[in-house]
Amino acid sequence: MSPTPSSPSTAAGTKRERRKEARPGELLEAALDLFVEKGFAATRVDEVAARAGVSKGTLFLYFPSKEELFKAVVRENIAGRFAEWNNELENFAGTTSEVLRYCYQVWWERIGCTKASGITKLMLSEAQNFPEIVQFYQQEVILPGQALIRRILERGVARGEFRPMNPDYAVYLVLAPMIFLMLWKHSIGACVPDALGMTPEQYIDMQADNILHGLCVRSGTNPPAPSFSTPV
């Protein structure tokens, strides 16, 4: 006569079970928030647990140490987008300048202006203390990211839009301004709000203009020399 227990596989189980299964995810989300906000050292596990609505002891049930929690956050939040992205850019029709600009734009919308940018900052910041994580990050994030950019550059060269270049080098022309912006946003920018002096979009446009001006062969279809005049 007891009510048929809803099968956990069909209706996601009771509240308790659902919560149980959701625990690690809730903890990772809370940890992401706090690690991004305060950095690794300054984040307290009590606070992570509290924000996830569990006790401190429960956190240690799922993650054997603060360090492992941190690694799990990195794993959870960084890789996985590249497949989709690669696809998108591979199929993009248009000049390679447009591809590059689109790439910047997409990056800003999906990473740069979101919490996820904090992970990059956090990785760079706490790298020294967790060398093993850096290895992982290098394999799963940095190399795929560089490959993605490199493919764009090679496309430009192949189509005669960009000058011949060593794409392994030129990748950093594209990368550096993005990394810089994320870092600025999560450090100086968080303390001195208008320290940058312009909007992120203006910053990105300016950097893209300059990079493309350096990369492109001169022709009617290519962008004119950037002017950097105040748009305001």
Partner DNA sequence: GATGAATGAGTGTTCATTCAT
Partner DNA sequence: TATGAATGAACACTCATTCAT
CA–CA gap between residue 121 and residue 28 (Å, rounded): 17
58 scored as a contact of DNA (CB under 7 A): yes
Among 3, 64, 220, 224, binds DNA (CB under 7 A): 64
Which of these, 100, 105, 101, 140, lies nearest to 120 by C-alpha position?
140
Cβ-based nearer residue to DNA, 21 or 168: 21
Among 7, 9, 166, 219, binds a second copy (CB under 8 A): 166
6 scored as a contact of DNA (CB under 7 A): no
Smallest separation (angstroms) from a second copy to the CB of 127: 4
State phi, psi for 144 to the nearest 5 degrees: -60, -40
Among 127, 158, 159, 160, binds a second copy (CB under 8 A): 127
Six-digit token string for 215: 């990369």
Smallest separation (angstroms) from DNA to the CB of 65: 3
Stretch that binds a second copy, among 49-57, 58-66, 86-94, 171-179 (CB under 8 A): 171-179
Smallest separation (angstroms) from DNA to the CB of 108: 31
73 scored as a contact of DNA (CB under 7 A): no
Residues that bind DNA (CB under 7 A): 8, 13-17, 19-20, 23, 43-46, 54-58, 60-61, 64-67
